[in-house]
Chain A
Amino acid sequence: DADVTQTPRNRITKTGKRIMLECSQTKGHDRMYWYRQDPGLGLRLIYYSFDVKDINKGEISDGYSVSRQAQAKFSLSLESAIPNQTALYFCATIPRWGQNYNEQFFGPGTRLTVL
């Protein structure tokens, strides 16, 4: 089984709808991240969390919210989806300590299309 899973893998929705993307990890890592990737723009950080009680905004948090329900779960919500939120969304995790403590482990991604 994959260490970092994302659901759904693909989603098509309409403008104005509320959407939740979910991320779960079995790696036991403390730190979790949400990114979006757009062609020509690379990966951009939306939100990140160092533990259940610690949530931080990334560079493009407007229009998004997150919830860290447990150490293993980190959800991203689009309260009212708009077409320019069409993108590939990745969840990632990182351990607090370790030899490669900066290596981020990514989920397989969620492809979101907002019509």
Chain B
Amino acid sequence: RKEVEQDPGPFNVPEGATVAFNCTYSNSASQSFFWYRQDCRKEPKLLMSVYSSGNEDGRFTAQLNRASQYISLLIRDSKLSDSATYLCVVNGKSGYSTLTFGKGTMLLVSP
């Protein structure tokens, strides 16, 4: 299994749609989980951390299943401005301070 694996995408959805991103990770010792957002040719920025109990931030909901080593991100009521690449990130082999990034899933929201 690859260290962090995501749906290849791209996802094309209309405004207002609900879209789900999936991610699996191979290192069972990973303790920290994140979703980053990257706009085209820009730097990645933290969207939200993912906690064991699941967490929500407005239209965004993140879930973690440690037993399955699975992370998800749900975006409700998609906006045009949500168009970006979404990166699944877990702390890496070297411990808390290194992160391993998935390749990302591109989202295109159309009018």
Report the bound CA distance from A32 to B45 in whole Å.
16
Interface residue SS majority, chain A: strand
Residues of A near B92 (CB, < 8 A) are 45
**Closest approach, in angstroms, between the C-beta of A91 and any C-beta of chain B?**
9
Q: Which residue of B lies closest to A50 (CB)?
A: B97
Instruction: Given the known inter-chain contacts A42-B101, A43-B87, A94-B97, please indicate yes or no for A106 contacting B41, CB distance below 8 A.
Output: no
Determine the distance from Cα of A6 to Cα of B101 in the docked complex, in whole angstroms: 21
Contact size class for B? 20 to 34
> Hey, what's the 0/1 contact readout for A28-45 against B, CB within 8 Å counting as 1?
000101010000111111
Q: Is the CB of B98 within 8 A of A48?
A: yes
Q: Which of B43, B99, B102 has the most CB of A within 10 A?
A: B43
Given A41-B103, A103-B34: A31 touches B46 (CB 8 Å cut-off): no
Residue A80 at the B interface, CB < 8 A? no
Task: Please give the residue numbers on chain A whose beta carbons come within 8 Å of chain B beta carbons, in ascending order.
Answer: 31, 33, 35, 40-45, 48, 50, 56, 58, 88, 90, 94, 100-104, 106-109, 111
